[in-house]
Amino acid sequence: MSVISLQGIKKIYHLGDNTVHALRGVSLDIEEGEFVAITGPSGSGKSTMMHILGCLDSPTEGSYLLNGKNVSNLPRQELADIRNRQIGFVFQGFNLLPRTTAVENVELPLLYTRPVMSNAERTKRAVEALTAMGLADRLDHHPSQLSGGQQQRVAIARALVNKPALILADEPTGNLDSKTSIEVMRLLQELREKQGITIVLITHEPEIAAYGTRIISVRDGVIISDEKNTPRNPEEDLAAVAPIAAASGY
């Protein structure tokens, strides 16, 4: 069974008198353990795809099965519960709460889990997720006390903490330097390889998309290509970047 199954998805926005066809019929299946990179220029419809895949928005037409359940026309409240349990988001610019510790940031999705989780259980899970990200010694740091890469790892820990079926990463490397970007990609690859987590990555950068096992190109609201890919090896890229970083004293 596919984790994600889109059938004839259309999304039409009405902006005043203008009608925008953001998606013009997208059909797509994503299997468990895939690392899918969705790429395309701005205005291609990849952001709209990401919103629909993330249950942040509902399609105008077509059906979306997430883990076999049709989620295309659910009320707001049920969509919120599905986001909470099944989808882990990683956003561009981290979107961590300022003046809030790493643990508290990671606990955020657990606050909205039903049935209500005890304080101790929430903290335990958040600490586990941060430890898995190698941040065991940064639990009580505020985002401003963390480097960009560390912040992104906190964000990934937050996405993973509720054990979702799917990680949805929206331009996760948008604000990062190349070395940190490569490190984040290595991390996502490890999650897929070691834990079998399904990852959907939205990016406009082809070199970032190249870390995925499958690359889907979108343009003008339709899929123009959908190909298997041999993922780039982040270790080689890191080795290439490292001397520059060392020279710049980074």
Partner 1 sequence: MGFGAHLIALAWQALMRNKAQTLLAMLGVTVGVGALVTSMALGRGAQEAIKDQLLAAGANMIIVNSGNYQTERAGAGGSPADHGYVPSPRPQRTPYLVKGPIPGFPNVRLLNAHFEDDPMAEHDHPLASDRLGDNMAGLGAAATLTLEDAEAIRSEIPGIDFVASGVHENARISLKADPTKQWFTRLHGTESDLPVIRSGWIFPYGRFLSASQVRDAEQDMVIGRVVADRLFGEGINPVGETIVLWNQDFRVIGVVDSTSWAAQPSAGDDQFDAIYIPVTTVHSLLNLSKLNTITITTESAGETTRISKQIEEILRRRHGITEQMPDDFTVKTQAQQLLGKGLSPDVARIVAGNLESIDALTIEQLSASLQRANRTMLALLAGVATVSLLVGGIGVMNLLLLSVTQRTREVGLRMAMGARGSDIASQFVLEAIVLSVVGGLIGAACGVLVAESLEQVFQWSTDVSVISMVFAIIVAAVLGVVSSVYPAHRASQLNPIGALHHE
Q: Is 230 strand, coil or helix? A: coil
109 in contact with partner 1 (CB under 8 A): yes
Q: In terms of CB distance, is 174 or 231 closer to partner 1?
A: 174
85 in contact with partner 1 (CB under 8 A): yes
Min CB(57)–partner 1 separation in Å: 6
Alpha carbons 38 and 31: distance in angstroms, whole number: 15
Torsion angle (degrees, nearest 10) of CA 200, 206, 211, 212: 40
CB 198 within 8 A of CB 165: yes
Nearest one of 142, 158, 148, 29 to 89, comparing CA atoms:
158
Min CB(50)–partner 1 separation in Å: 10
Looking at 69-147, list the stretches that DSSP marks H as alpha helix, in order from N- to C-terminal side. Answer: 76-86, 102-111, 119-132
Min CB(103)–partner 1 separation in Å: 12
DSSP H/E element including 157:
helix 148-160
Count of alpha carbons within 13 angstroms of residue 173, beta-carbon side: 23
Binding mask 157-186 for partner 1 (x = CB under 8 A): -x---x------------------------
Residues from 7 through 66 that contact partner 1 (CB under 8 A): 51, 54, 56-57
Q: Which of 2, 7, 58, 113 binds partner 1 (CB under 8 A)?
A: 113
Min CB(88)–partner 1 separation in Å: 9
116 in contact with partner 1 (CB under 8 A): yes
Residues that bind partner 1 (CB under 8 A): 51, 54, 56-57, 76-77, 80-85, 89, 91, 95, 97-100, 104, 108-109, 111-113, 116, 118-119, 158, 162
